Amino acid sequence: MTTTPVTSELQAEFTLPNRRETNRTGPVRWLISHFIPYWYIGLLILIGAFGNAYLAAVVPVEIGKAFNAIMENPPKTGLLMDFVWVIVWTQLLRGVLQFARNFAAEWLGQLYERNIRDELYVSLLGKSMTFHNIQPVGDIMARATNDVREINFMFSPGINLVIGSANFVLLPIIMAPQYHPSLVITPLVFLIIYFLLIWQYLHELTPISNRVRSRFGRLNTRLAEALDGIETVKGMAQETSEINLFEQNAQEFRDASIRQGDIEARYLPLLLLGITQAAGLLHSLLLFRSGAITAGDVVGYFGLLQLFGFPTFASIFAYSQVSLGLASSRRILDLINNETDLDQNAEGYTAEMRGEVKFEDVSFAYQDANEDDYAIDHISFSVQPGQTVAIVGQTGTGKTSLVKLINRTYDVSAGAVLVDGVDVKDWKLESLRQQVSIIEQDIFLFSRKIKENIAFGHPDATDEEIIAAAKAAQAHEFILEFQDGYETVIGERGVTLSGGQRQRLALARAFLTDPRILVLDDSTSAIDSATEDKIQRAIYAAAKGRTTFIITHRLSQIRWADLIIVMRKGAVVAIGTHEELLETSEAYRRIFSE
C-alpha cells in the first residue's frame, strides 16, 4: 500500500507539496493526527484484541463445565469431547485473530516510523542555517534514528500489548457474574487498584524515560563530534581525553537506564496479582461451602482470574515502551516545531536576475549573540549587474556573513538587501537561491560519483554539460586520471581528494548551474601555484556576464575587481578600485602590504 507521507504547513525555507497536515500542538495530538488516516488498522487491532481475550476466557469456562460433568453422579463423560472441540475451534480462531492483531500493530508501527521519519527529514531540510548552526548533529541523528524507532516500538509491541491486556482485565469482570453476582467484587477491585498503580508507575517512569532519551542524545552528540573531528583528535593525541568524555556520557546513560530498571523492578501490580488470585479463590471456596456455586464454578472462576496474569506481566514492558515512545515523540516534535526565521515565500517574486545588489543600512547578529553584538554593522553599498566585487579584511570581520545575506542563508537584523531592486525577503526563496551560487572555503562533497557531485544543482544535466563545466573549472584533467573517471565515487566530504581538487569540483558545480550572482568565499585558497593561473582564467571567464563577489586574500584576484570593499569589525571602512584605495585607504594599504 502506498500513502502520501504527512507534514504540516509550518514556516520553513521549503516544503514539499501535497502533504497531509498534522497537529503539532502536543505529542499525543501529533500521534493521533498520524493515526487518523489509518483508523481501519486500529479497528483491526481492537477486533483482534477483544476476540483474543474473549476466546482465551472460553478455556477456563469450558474446563469448569467439564469439571462439573465429571463430578456429577453418574459422571457425564459423553459431554467431555464436546468441551474439547469447543476449546479446539475457539483457540484456532483465537490464533487467527491474534495473528491479525499483531500483524496490524506491526503494520501501523512501520507506517508511523516511515511517515514520521519523512516528516522530520522534510522539516530539517526546511530549517534555516541559523537553526543548523546551533543544533548538534549527533543529537539530530539520535532523534532521527533511535527516537523514531522508539515510536515504532511504542505501537508494536507497546500499545499492541496495552490494548490486548486491557481486554484481559475486563473479561473476568464481564464473565464472573455468571457464577455468582458477588464474585465480580474481586476482579473489580483489582481493576481499580491496577489502574491506580499504573498511573503511579507512569508518573514515576515518565521523567526517567525523558532522561534516558536525553542522555542517549548527548551520548550520540559526543560520538558524532569525535568522529567528525577525528583528524583533530588524532593530530593532538587526545584519544584518551575523548574516551574519558565518552565514558562519562555512557555512564550517565547507563545510570538513567538503571534507574528506569529499578522502577520497573518495583512494579506493584505483580504483588496485586498474587493477592487478587488468593482473595478470589478464598471467596469462591466460601461460596462453594455455602452451596451457592459448584466445584466446577470455582475452577472456571479461578481460571478467569488467571487471565490477569497476562496484562500484569506484559504491562511491565508495554507501559515502559509507551513511556519511551512518548518521550521520543516529544523530542522529535520539539525539533520539528523549532521555528526558523526564514520562510520559502512560495508566492514571492520570480524573475531572471540581472545581478544588481544593494545593501541599505544592513545590520546582522547571530541568534545566540548579544543584542548589540553585530557581525554586520550598518553597511550600505551598491553593485551593478556584471561587476566583480572583492571583499577583503582580516579574519572575523564579517565577510562571509555579509555575502550569505544575499541568498538569505541568514536574514538581516535591520536594513534591507535588494536584488534587482527587490528586497530578498520578497523573492521566492527557491528562485533566489537558484540564481545565487556560493562556493565556500569549506567545500562539501557527497559520497557519490564525481559527475553526480558536479550536477548536484542541475541533476538533469547531460554528460557533455558536466564535462564542459569541469573543463571550465580546470577539473577535467585530474578527473580523467582516476580509473573510473567521472564515474569515480568519492568519500564523504571529498576526503579522497586534495583541497585543490575539491575546490575545482565545487567551481564546476557552480558553473553548471549558471548563476546570475556568483560568490567565491576564499574558494581558491587551496589551489596550488601550478594551477592558479588556470583557475584565475576560469574565474575571470565565469565572472563575465554575471555579478561576482570574491572573498579573497590573493592580490591577483583583488587587482582585477571592479569594486573592492574593505571591512573591519563588521563595518565597511573603504570602498573603491584598487588604485583608489591605495591612495585613500590606510587599512587597504596595510592589507596590500602584507
Asked if 75 and 146 sit in the same domain, the reply is: yes
Order of strands across the sheet that contains 388-392: 436-439, 517-521, 547-551, 388-392, 563-568, 571-576
**What CATH number did the domain enclosing 218 receive?**
1.20.1560.10
Backbone dihedral angles phi then psi of residue 384, each to the nearest 5 degrees:
-85, 155
Residue 347 falls inside a structural domain: no
In this structure, is residue 286 part of a structural domain?
yes
Domain of 399, CATH number, reads: 3.40.50.300
Q: What is the per-residue pLDDT across 124-134, written as a single tens digit (0 to 9) for each?
A: 877 776 677 66
- 382 shares a domain with 290: no
Domain count, the chain: 2
Shared-domain flag, residues 505 and 371 = yes
Per the CB < 8 A criterion, the answer to whether 9 and 15 are in contact is: yes
Instruction: Identify whether 7 is part of a domain.
Output: no
My answer on whether 318 and 362 are in the same domain is no
Is 343 among the domain residues? no
pLDDT of residue 534: 64
- In whole angstroms, give the CA distance from residue 244 to residue 493: 28
Do 52 and 130 lie in a common domain?
A: yes
Q: What is the rounded distance in angstroms from the CA atom of residue 272 to the CA atom of residue 312?
A: 9
Mark whether 86 and 117 lie in a shared domain: yes
Could you list the residue range(s) of the whole structural domain that residue 257 is in?
A: 27-337
Instruction: Please state whether beta strands 517-521 and 547-551 pair in parallel, antiparallel, or not at all (unpaired).
Output: parallel
User: By C-alpha distance, which of 338, 255, 465 is closest to 11?
Assistant: 338
Q: Which of 129, 582, 563, 588 is nearest to 359 (CA)?
A: 563
Domain edge (last residue) among 308, 337, 366: 337
Q: Is residue 15 a part of any domain in this protein?
A: no
Q: Is residue 390, in this structure, part of any structural domain at all?
A: yes
From 303, 337, 371, give the residue that closes a domain.
Answer: 337
Q: What is the pLDDT of residue 359?
A: 93
**Do residues 506 and 563 both lie within one domain?**
yes
How large is the average pLDDT for residues 311-325? 81
Query: Does 22 map to a domain?
Result: no
Least confident among 320-334, 387-401, 525-539: 525-539
Task: Give yes or no: residues 328 and 368 share one domain.
Answer: no
* Residue 4 belongs to a domain: no
pLDDT digits over 244-279, tens only?
Answer: 888 888 888 888 888 888 877 777 888 888 899 899
Q: Are 325 and 453 found together in one domain?
A: no
Could you tell me if 422 and 309 lie in one domain? Answer: no
What is the residue whose three cell numbers read 491486556?
Answer: 165
Neighbours of 495 (CB within 10 A): 11
**pLDDT one-digit tens code per residue, 538-563:** 677 667 778 989 888 777 778 778 89
383 and 449 together in one domain = yes
Is the domain of 322 the same as that of 364?
Answer: no
23-37 pLDDT tens trace: 888 888 999 999 999
Is 13's pLDDT higher than 60? no
Helices (H) and strands (E) in the chain, counts: 23, 10
Q: What is the pTM of this model?
A: 0.66
Percent of the chain with pLDDT over 90: 11
